[in-house]
A and B are shown apart, each in its own frame.
Chain A
């Protein structure tokens, strides 16, 4: 043990003190440790476990679960290329190869001098300005060969990240179409004042009247959630803002948090006031780490303005404050119970439901978990009333929806539409002239083919958490589905059998088809696996993991068929490949050392 190691104390003690040695802050403690040390060494695990009175395996299992925590050195500069299908379409593969060859590295390898490692990561939420990468969790967008060369130079010269040209880190909003949320002005505190005038019951009544449904994807009626939490037994309640925007192709919460954060925080405060919570927690995805200081400054300003803290707006007993927790690279934490586990400093494995978070949430207390957009829109309902809000959108889907649009279109970015808008209209607005398919709702969403472009964005028709990826007529929908399948395999938490093993099986089969070794047999296997995953998986991740494959199988069958062998069956075991070690030993690679490749 290196408890007497003075450097351990020097680095870790201030961090532990900042979080009052509270093990529920393990994620934050590990993040800050890694920001100091570039990875989390074994001595730090031992020191933290002892200081937090945790088993060392509890610390280790958190490090091992999250993609952005490292147990071994990953270089002083850790470069992660966003690998969503939109990044692929924008040419990230060539840029990745360019960077790898500049350093003479293979993907995932750490350079011999410990300077740099280069790898890929799941969608970083920059699809409208990709291809993108993260360097030590800070995003660089609009990558080009020149930009890659520039970054390589900066790394080779070991220029500290703080001294890199600021334009590299510029993230644009790209707001293209505004409706009520993005165009209504709000003076800070204005919506909150109105909520206080209404009182908790009055505010809840407005929410009920609005028939407003959550914007995270599931579409649960927000007032029902708030009321259930408000009425749940217990003294302590929490409001949690789900800003773990991990669904590939989604970035509207990023724009809300960077340009409308007051609305988000004010919405949280209104929720806290309505349900009787004194504490709010924002769970911010690690990919949005670059916003942390700015958001904390806004919280501080709100405290000074008495919009947070004690006796808010002079209301005796109206206490509410907000903390920001950073995630560490796990899509599953967008699932609300996995998010709660993560907030408590544990691996993000979804809980068994019931009990639901409204009765048993953060630290076992009644908790409302709402999406960023949901909370921002609660301020509009406070400002203008539930009846006004109900007049927007459709009967079953009131109000507007923010859409993150990316892919093959001339104007990617953020679009706000009233619910009920037709997909064809959206495609026209964003300049998607040759679209053959649209993936609505991210990898877990629905693949819409051209003949369905007349369908509407609404809970009762095409439901979405807000992502819309456009695919033009030169795109290969098989490869789109394969990208999503690999995403799910990477992001499966591993808790339940069907998702843990099934996502890998699906990828293996799709890879076999991609190699030209697929037959009709594999097609049937994919359907079987989809049936199993969609019915018996523990949570939404596993249940939707097979959807992109199933949708494209149904709607874009030719993109699979043209890869298939005209046989009933082709073994996955490649006898010739299995002989590779033998060839190596014999130092032979001539034609006679190979079995006929295509007998």
Chain B
């Protein structure tokens, strides 16, 4: 292995290609770094902060940091897992997540990460924010209770679908996804279930209508293997 195009994660050499980020190279090499707002094929935007690693003593997002030869990355450490767990707990109390009644359960990246990082409780008090549900579209519904403001649907809709259906609006804790129609309803947009934006949501905020429990709970994506063992899937899915 040529040391000119490798870097180190927790003592393991990781090869990389030019323009690859630390996260992309790590996943490709089978090394898992927790992440939520990164999706292959979409520009990394670095907002969830779950992929925070330590490079040369500084905390940084692995999804937005370009791999450079020789850098040493701390990833699988108790201190970083503590921080990531806190971030997950923040997301769980910010929104209204009821896994047992959610069709996304088992396929949900937020839930999978929480299991993987051994998050036992939400720890903080829930915010119980009043979030909207939009059932105006014939094929899909939006449940903003579950939205984690990752922005993937916004990106996929504008960058890939070229429809610009979604946008992030508001500020601070009031940040939320809005729909680009005069009524603000998804049903009045040209969104379709075949859009890439329909499939990138890491949680259950965008789901198809009239399809429930087609695959039983217990046999879903993250039920067999924890998310940390599914690096191949996480790199090969393409937006």
Q: Which residues of A contact B (CB under 8 A)?
A: 1, 42, 46, 55-58, 60-61, 64-67, 330, 347, 352, 489-498, 500-505, 508, 528-529, 532, 535-538, 572-573
Contact = CB atoms under 8 A, between A and B. Distances in A.
Secondary structure dominating the interface of A: helix
Contacts of B168: 61, 347
B90 A505 contact: yes
A498 B125 CA distance: 15
B171 A494 contact: yes
A60 B178 contact: yes
Given A494-B149, A497-B91, A572-B125, A65 B49 contact: no
Contact of A536 (B59, B171, B174): B59
B186 to A, nearest CB: 12
B125 A496 contact: no
Interface stretch (B40-48, B112-120, B131-139, B214-222): B40-48
B172 A497 contact: no
B52 A536 contact: yes
B176 to A, nearest CB: 9
B175 interface: yes
B167 interface: yes
Contacts of B125: 508, 572-573
B83 A501 contact: no
Given A55-B180, A528-B86, 8 more contacts: A56-B180, A61-B168, A494-B170, A497-B50, A529-B86, A535-B52, A538-B46, A538-B47
A503 B172 contact: yes
Nearest to B60: A536
A501 B94 contact: yes
In the A-B complex, list the 7 residue pairs whose CB atoms are closest, starting with the nearest. A494-B175, A57-B167, A501-B90, A61-B169, A492-B172, A57-B180, A535-B59
A535 B80 CA distance: 11
B1 interface: no
Contacts of A528: 86
Interface in B59-90: 59, 61, 64, 83, 86-87, 90
A60 B49 CA distance: 27
Interface string B159-181: 00000101111111111001111
Interface string B171-197: 111110011111000000000000000
Nearest to A528: B86
B49 A489 contact: no
Contacts of A503: 172-173
Contacts of B169: 57, 60-61, 64-65
Contact of B124 (A46, A494, A505): A505
B179 A538 contact: no
Given A55-B164, A494-B173, A61 B47 contact: no
